[in-house]
Structure 1
Amino acid sequence: MMDDIQVDEAIFELRPDFAVLVMTARGMKNGPTDDRARAWLAGASAQPVPAEKIDAWKDAYRAFGAKPQRTRPSVDALTRRLPLPEINQVVDAYNSISVRHALPIGGEDLDRYAGPPRLVRATGEEASEEALGTPEPGEVIWRDDIGVTCRRWNWRQVVRTRLTEETVNGLFLLERLEPMTLEELKVAGEELADLLTELSPGVRISSRLISAGN
């Protein structure tokens, strides 16, 4: 599946600096927030948030017609909720890395996908859950063979693919724009892999970088 994940060329035409580090984690064990996860959340919540990275995502939203003050990029919304809320161990892990690096990260249940994830510009006819509404033509969305999995790039995911305490095989999408460097993106991925391995010592992690020309 890893090789089948796609970012449409139209995305790179919109933002040539976009890159996504795709990670799969198979054989995860998840559970309610514990003291270890609380420490991750507290450490991330105490760090200053670099505004220039958030601003880059706001600019990207405006480029496809979204209003970032109304539907905020995920990392912007997350940093406005500090101290970070407790969700579950795996979500706490990737939320802490997201805030540490001001990096949007999506966590998904891989087994609930129908076909490979694709990042595309919407036609406006894609199936979507009622709570999210139908994407607008030209909107940046993640989707699979059924329909939308996340609207407005990383604004909000559907319930169908949400990562829960029952998730065994996870998909993580770490989305980068400049001024974040590809090296920092790599480091963030390694940090997330370390936390997932700490939670599930037997987890099997694979990753792939997708960027313009790659």
Structure 2
Amino acid sequence: MRVASRALGRANLVHAYGHCSVRLDDEHLLVCAAMPMGLVTKEPGVVVPIRGPLPAGVLGEVCVHQQIYVRRPEVGAVVRSMPRYLMSLSAASITPIARHGPGSYFAPSVPLWRDVQLVRSASQAQGVVDTLGTSRAVVMRANGAVVVGGTLEEAVAMTWFLEDAARVEYEVRAIGAADSAVFSEEDSRQRATTAGRIIERMWDYLTVGDVEVDAGTL
């Protein structure tokens, strides 16, 4: 959890805001400390019930994590991020579509939750998770994204993939090629693989040099 928090911070996928969690079992999740993720050192996470009120000091948007774990039993981890390109596109109600390898994991496009308010209630969280559906990510208009994965490593890697898809979306639109540079459904299906240590290699890339990785204390 600490390594993931710092990795997301170093990659500029989060800043003062953002959080991640892992499913511990059917009844509990572990969420990172409520602080800028890049500044996490030895701070422990907080155990949160998947069903029930959030403990004191836990960020309000963790209610989204709770809803995801209840409704998506295959999900083992959640990342809430605010990457640069994704934020810019979402302010215009645009989300990435499948235009390159990393974008294929979110084909045909990333769903958009249109409410610009911070998620602080069960009803809002339900709306976000309804919009997420069976996708790997949901974008919140002008407010970042929520990404899910079977493991924390996968959720972190997919967060990087999502921002790279947003970068490509932004740049393809800038050169006027939005209508031509699109993967087919079959292209996306074949390309969106996790074989060949896809997730593991991205995790290694994002965590290289981390103090706990180098010290072998994980």
TM-score (norm 1): 0.26
Quick check: which one's helix share is greater? 2
Quick check: which one's strand share is greater? 1
Higher relative contact order (CA 8 A, sep 6+): 1
